[in-house]
Structure 1
Amino acid sequence: MQRPTAVKRLLNTWKKQKGKRLDCRVNANIIKESTYYMVAKVTMKFENFTKTDLETLTREGDSWKVSSSVNVYK
C-alpha cells in the first residue's frame, strides 16, 4: 500500500466520526501499515496547546476503525 492512500483512508475515517468541529491544524503520519491494521501519529495544534494521539486502527470489512488511542497533551 502506498502511504498517500493510507493517509487519505485515515483522514476519511476521522471525517466520518461524529462530534464537534475542532479549530486546529492537523498533521497525520502513518507509522506502520499492513493489510489489517495501521498505527498512526496524529498531532492537533490548537492555539494554546498541542494534542498528540497514537492511534491503532483495524480493518473491519471495507472500513477502518480506531481500536486504541493514547493521548498526550502539551
Structure 2
Amino acid sequence: MTVIDSYVQIAADGNTEGIQHLFSDDFKWTQSSNAKTKTYSKSEVVNFLKSSKGLKQNCKTTYTIMEKNENCVMAKVEMKYDNFTKVECITLCNVNQEWRINQIIESYK
C-alpha cells in the first residue's frame, strides 16, 4: 500500500492506523475556502484525523499522480460529495528512504 492509499483510507474511511508515520516533521496543511486561508501543523492535523477515527465519509474518492521522480511526488486527491468536491493537492517527499507527506493544499469546487 502506498502513502497516498494510506492517506485516502484515513481521510475517507477513518482508518487512522499508522497515521504517525504518514507526515513529515515539517508538514503543513493549507485550507482555502470562502476567500479565507488557514494553515495547520502536523500535530493539529494528526489530532483532528485521530478524532475522526472510524468516521466514513459519504463520498467517492479518487487520486491521480500529477508528477513523480525519485525524490518527490505530486498527487491530486478528489473527494466527490453530492453537492461539492474537495480537492487536495499533496506533495510527498522521500525522507531517509521513507515516503512522507509534507504538504496538503485543500480547496473546494
Tell me whether the two structures share a fold, i.e. TM-score over 0.5: yes
1:35 aligns with 2:58: no
Deviation at 1:62, TM superposition (A): 5.2
More displaced stretch, 53-62 vs 27-36: 53-62
Q: Structure 2 vs 1, CA of residues 58 and 49 (structure 1 numbering), >3 Å: closer, same or farther?
A: same
Larger Rg: 2
Corresponding residue of 1:5 = none
Moved over 6 A (4+): none
What letter matches 1:69 in structure 2?
A: I
Higher relative contact order (CA 8 A, sep 6+): 2
1:52 aligns with 2:87: yes
State the identity as a percent. 24
1:22 aligns with 2:53: no
What letter matches 2:65 in structure 1?
A: I
Corresponding residue of 2:34 = none
What letter matches 1:43 in structure 2?
A: E
For each residue in 1:20-69, what CA deviation from the matched residue of structure 2 results, as whole angstroms up to 9, or x when unmatched?
A: 32121011000111112100011110122110111101123454221111
Q: How many residues align?
A: 66
TM-score normalised by structure 2 residue count:
0.51
Which stretches in structure 2 are left out of the alignment for 5+ residues?
17-48, 50-54
